[in-house]
Amino acid sequence: VSPSVVSYVLNGGPRSTSVAARERVLNAIRELDYHPNASARGLRFQQTRTIGLLLSTFESSGVFESPYIGLILGGLVGQLKARGYWALVYPLVIGQDLDVLEGLLRSKKVDGVVVRLLQEPHQTHPLLEIIAATGVPCVCIEQPGAERFGFGSVTYDDGRGAYDAVAYLLAQGHRRIGHVGGDLRYLTARARVAGYRRALLENDIVADESLVYCDAWNPGTARAAVARMFDGASPPTAIFAANDSLAFVVVEELRKHGYRVPEDVSVVGFDDIELSREMDPPLTTVRIPLHQLGVRAADLLLEVINDDPAGAVPRSEVLSVELVRRSTA
Amino acid sequence: VSPSVVSYVLNGGPRSTSVAARERVLNAIRELDYHPNASARGLRFQQTRTIGLLLSTFESSGVFESPYIGLILGGLVGQLKARGYWALVYPLVIGQDLDVLEGLLRSKKVDGVVVRLLQEPHQTHPLLEIIAATGVPCVCIEQPGAERFGFGSVTYDDGRGAYDAVAYLLAQGHRRIGHVGGDLRYLTARARVAGYRRALLENDIVADESLVYCDAWNPGTARAAVARMFDGASPPTAIFAANDSLAFVVVEELRKHGYRVPEDVSVVGFDDIELSREMDPPLTTVRIPLHQLGVRAADLLLEVINDDPAGAVPRSEVLSVELVRRSTA
DNA sequence: GTGAAAGCGCTAACAA
DNA sequence: TTGTTAGCGCTTTCAC
């Protein structure tokens, strides 16, 4: 029995095989538990069935610790696995690993990448330029890349979520609403403040700048922010936090200062991580379908890789967020 | 200029090259930004500079959401990256993906694996048997594999941590100490109850079985456990929880029932995830150097792969845990 | 110091 | 239906 027959059997190859031969091959395969060499196949087919997951971060560590990214990763890796692809994770420190990244792409180690974007299109050019130059199929998540690269993207509407959250607070009668924001290097943090501002504006409320604190996703600063807000002459009656971890800390800090939530102060978060369900009282927050985001990104990428007719034109999906009312507002 | 020269230049190859030739090659490489094809090198060298991260789980989803695993992953991936290796993540559902796993290993897609073990040595045999049969270098984390496989491992001492936590509570004068345990399919959960029991025993306290609840890592059951403990005639004055998330929920539930922590009831957790520092009051807990665990696992694996003299004999490291006193006990 | 050529394991076009 | 063979991109031995 010759190599070609084995190949035909294995791949339902371009030629058909006799039942007898197939049997023998199958038996031999089972006996030796033979498995084709991935590198050899990769070399032959020019594809590796591996997808690179480029996880942008500002700090050089800590990507995996975030429950937010964990949710996305779960969807991403799970879906890739279900469709027979492997996931290669690479924590990409912004402004650093670009040369290594180029090596990854040019060496054809991955068939495609999904890249987590944190900033505005023009700031992500250096990164996307490299990806585009290598021609590796790419889907952006969280933030879209610049139009001209033509990469698909799966994002969600930060501004809308923040707007909805604040509009909800306004509808409850709140007029002084504080904001504990995230790290403004993240477009997501900026979009959330913007949504907050827009909601106030549309209700003819002039935003009191002493009530908005954006510094980092850092719990310590969130604590300090609360302390300062309630030091002032007219403290807020509600706080919109840029994410759930921040909201959690805000609730803790309010309690420490003797304020009850939601009786004295209402709090709304963003993301809907597990903590928001488990904390007491459970957090009212803006839910992002993060798992789904991962799943869709995987789907989109595989569509363009296998250029399914549907995927011929790379799509940009904007997942909708939803205010989930629990007990803090 | 011939292919061999390029190779020599690129790899500081087995032959030396003239300065002139080297220059020309280097220039050409830069101009075309040439990068060697990973599959071809993989085929040639029989190695891919990729490490498989086999993340065992019982449920088919949710590995990445756990802050515990996130910390390990951070250390693992970070260290691999620093040493020039890629990380392939594979969520391995216990009792399922064994055939796919065998394919991964036999296809020589990875140079080695670090495998997260959840159970006792004899229960992990099917998995390790496959890895051993394929001869792929392997390091176990969290739990060691059976001796005979000869795989290195990086673990930590659950029993000791639990013992220390409970001994500490006893030293504070507590006599009725409850335990809210984890999912007993996890050896880690069993070891933690065992440590709890041993501490009580050594202090001549008969464990009151109405005070130990092991069901799952599930917050809901933890809540129910607390409720039941404090329904009884003589409720505990302290609770040792099998991990920090559980401890957090326990504190919340105690507060809901009108008990103050630590004045009325003391609580100690396990793991030392970020939440335990951020919650209020900050959690007294047993710290596991999880990041370090990942780093060491990577180091050990690379040692055996590159068979450094030091790594010739695969080592088993047991990282030491440490009670960190904060405010809940 | 450099070029030619074989071979890593696989697939598919070409012959038989 | 099957066997033979070239070639994917790289490295390295061998001959020059």
Helix axes A187-202 and A158-171, enclosed angle (nearest 10) = 40
- The predicted pLDDT at position A18 comes to 86
Asked whether residue A13 carries a pLDDT value surpassing 70, the answer given is: no
- Is A247 within 8 Å of chain B by CB? no
Q: Which helix (H) or strand (E) holds A206?
A: none
- The predicted pLDDT at position B124 comes to 86
Nearest to A70 among B46, B70, B87 (CB): B70
Tell me whether residues A275 and B275 touch, CB distance under 8 A.
Answer: yes
- The predicted pLDDT at position A273 comes to 97
Q: Average pLDDT in the A173-198 region?
A: 96
* Integer Cα distance of B132 and B130 in angstroms: 5
pTM across the whole model: 0.95
* Integer Cα distance of A19 and A25 in angstroms: 10
- The predicted pLDDT at position A214 comes to 86
Q: Which residues of B touch A67 (CB under 8 A)?
A: 65, 67, 70
Nearest to B106 among A33, A60, A103 (CB): A33
Asked whether residue A61 carries a pLDDT value surpassing 90, the answer given is: no
Q: Average pLDDT in the A143-148 region?
A: 95
Tell me whether residues B106 and A35 touch, CB distance under 8 A.
Answer: yes
- The predicted pLDDT at position B13 comes to 66
Q: Report the residue of B30, B64, B68, B100 to disrupt the A interface, i.e. the one with the largest count of A CBs within 10 Å.
A: B64
Task: Compute the nearest-CA separation of A321 from chain B (Å).
Answer: 20
Q: How far is CA B132 from CA A158, B129, B135, B151, B155, in A?
A: 48, 5, 5, 9, 20
* Integer Cα distance of B233 and B208 in angstroms: 12
Tell me whether residues B65 and A274 touch, CB distance under 8 A.
Answer: yes
Asked whether residue A308 carries a pLDDT value surpassing 90, the answer given is: no
User: Residue B227: CB partners within 8 Å, gap ≥ 6?
Assistant: B253, B257
The residue with tokens 């505005």 is A120
- Tens of pLDDT, residues A32-54: 889 999 999 999 999 999 999 99
Q: How many CB atoms lie within 10 A of CB B95?
A: 9
C1'-nearest nucleotide to the CA of B16: C1
* Integer Cα distance of B196 and B11 in angstroms: 56
Asked whether residue A309 carries a pLDDT value surpassing 80, the answer given is: no
* Integer Cα distance of B244 and B156 in angstroms: 16
Q: How far is the CA of A15 from the C1' of C14 (A)?
A: 13
Asked whether residue A77 carries a pLDDT value surpassing 90, the answer given is: yes
CA closest to A64 among chain B residues: B70
Task: Compute the nearest-CA separation of B206 from chain A (Å).
Answer: 33
Query: Is strand D less than 7 A from the beta carbon of A4?
Result: yes
Confidence of residue A311 (pLDDT cuts 50, 70, 90): low
Q: How far is the CA of B4 from the C1' of C2 (A)?
A: 8
Cβ proximity of A55 and A90 under 8 Å: yes
- Tens of pLDDT, residues A254-287: 999 999 999 999 999 999 999 999 999 999 999 9
User: Residue A112: CB partners within 8 Å, gap ≥ 6?
Assistant: A51, A52, A136, A137, A138, A139, A301, A302, A304, A305
* Integer Cα distance of A183 and B203 in angstroms: 50
Nearest to A278 among B67, B102, B219 (CB): B219
- The predicted pLDDT at position B295 comes to 98
Residues of chain B with pLDDT under 50: none
Tokens representing B274 are 């970020």
- Tens of pLDDT, residues A216-228: 899 999 999 999 9
Mean pLDDT of chain A: 94
Nearest to B39 among A43, A88, A91 (CB): A43
The residue with tokens 């040639």 is B44
Backbone angles phi, psi at A60, to 5 degrees: -80, 5
Q: How far is CA B109 from CA B87, B90, B96, in A?
A: 11, 12, 20
Rounded to 5°, angle at Cα A189 from A265 and A245: 50
C1'-nearest nucleotide to the CA of A8: C11
Tokens representing B61 are 């989803």
- Is A35 within 8 Å of chain B by CB? yes
Q: Which helix (H) or strand (E) holds B139?
A: strand B138-142
Q: Which residues of A touch B108 (CB under 8 A)?
A: 37-39
* Integer Cα distance of A165 and A325 in angstroms: 10
The pLDDT > 70 percentage for chain A reads 99
Query: Is strand C less than 7 A from the beta carbon of A38?
Result: no
Residue ranges of B 122-161 with Cβ closer than 8 A to chain A: none
Tokens representing A95 are 């402004």
Confidence of residue A299 (pLDDT cuts 50, 70, 90): very high
* Integer Cα distance of A204 and A209 in angstroms: 15
Query: Is strand C less than 7 A from the beta carbon of B48?
Result: no
Tokens representing B82 are 């620093």
